[in-house]
Amino acid sequence: ITRVGALLKPRYRILGADIAGQVFSVGRSVNQFQPGDEVLGDLSGCGWGGFAEYVCARENALALKPAGMNFEEAAAVPQAAVLALQGLRDEGKIRPGQKVLINGAGGGVGTFAVQIAKAFGAEATGVDSTGKLDMLRSIGADRVIDYTREDFAKTGQRYDLILDVAANRSISDYSRSLNPEGGAVLIGGSMSRILGIMFKAPGVLKREGKKIGLLMHKPNSMDLDFIKALFATGKVKSVIDRCYPLRETAEAFRYFGKGQVRGKVVITMEHTGKT
């Protein structure tokens, strides 16, 4: 769930990016899918609109849903898991044996990031609030840090890669926490905060042999297939906090806004059980 907007009116009339459901109809030039196929996908590149019973999606925004994955699990995957994958693999250049810290590890992107980092053979440290630490351990985090009690930038521990879903740290925090030639990747956080960091940080960190990057999300079916393969081997799973029926979407947003969600919040379709 993500809040979007514009100056005078909502940017999108119907929100919702991640979807999972059954194909109702296909266009004449569609080759990969047919009516009845169970799919998952990310609509953020083709107009959003996922909080609805029917949506229109581009062929390349979808992938077949694995038979062993239910619709709730599938709906939690597309954007969050691909963001985590692209942040670690593409922007972060993750390698086996590296020490990786995920700041904001208890949310949707963060829970996938912990598991994907482990799948790549890295040592994963998750940073989040007290109530999320046991969950982070349960999905494979090697170490957890309660940010309400401990500041990861002041422990003296250094990391090869920091994936920052919150983007709430200073440039000096990144500098102190990175190994020589280490790097940080920003995924979430407020736009003003991200722009401020990206304006100043690259030059400062470059002088120290370190780097920082901002992930530009690229929805695509190939990365969805990569994530599906990790699911098939048991290396990744969806972490779902709560499910709400479509009619309670506003309540789902209120719960999400409290900032205590463990993993994902999912909206379900009551009349079919499809998500």
CATH number at residue 63: 3.90.180.10
128 in the same domain as 57: no
Which residues touch 257 (CB under 8 Å, ≥6 apart)?
A: none
Segment 135-145 shows an average pLDDT of: 99
Give SS3 for 185: strand
Which residues touch 212 (CB under 8 Å, ≥6 apart)?
A: 174, 183, 184, 185, 186, 197, 198, 201, 202, 205
Using pLDDT thresholds of 50, 70 and 90, give the confidence band for residue 208: confident
Closest CA to 102 of 138, 78, 73, 136: 136
186 in the same domain as 114: yes
So what's the pLDDT on residue 198?
Answer: 81
Residue 4, pLDDT > 50, answer no
Residue 173, pLDDT > 60, answer yes
So what's the pLDDT on residue 194?
Answer: 79
- Token pair listed for 264: 């994902």
- C-alpha–C-alpha distance, residues 246 and 81, integer Å: 23
Which residues touch 227 (CB under 8 Å, ≥6 apart)?
A: 77, 81, 82, 85, 112, 236
- What mean pLDDT, rounded, does the chain reach? 91
So what's the pLDDT on residue 11?
Answer: 63
249 in the same domain as 133: no
- C-alpha–C-alpha distance, residues 187 and 123, integer Å: 20
Specify the CATH number for the domain of residue 123. 3.40.50.720
Of 199, 214, 229, the one marking the end of a domain is: 214
Give me the domain span that covers residue 128. Answer: 79-214
166 in the same domain as 107: yes
- C-alpha–C-alpha distance, residues 112 and 110, integer Å: 5
Number of structural domains (the chain) is: 2
Which residues touch 72 (CB under 8 Å, ≥6 apart)?
A: 20, 238, 240, 243, 266, 268, 275
Start-to-end Cα distance in the chain? 14
In the block, tokens 């030039």 appear at: 29
Which residues touch 136 (CB under 8 Å, ≥6 apart)?
A: 105, 106, 111, 114, 126, 128, 144
In a domain, 104, yes or no: yes
Closest CA to 211 of 171, 182, 170: 182
210 in the same domain as 86: yes
Using pLDDT thresholds of 50, 70 and 90, give the confidence band for residue 230: very high
So what's the pLDDT on residue 202?
Answer: 75
| pLDDT-wise least confident of 40-44, 154-158, 271-275 | 271-275
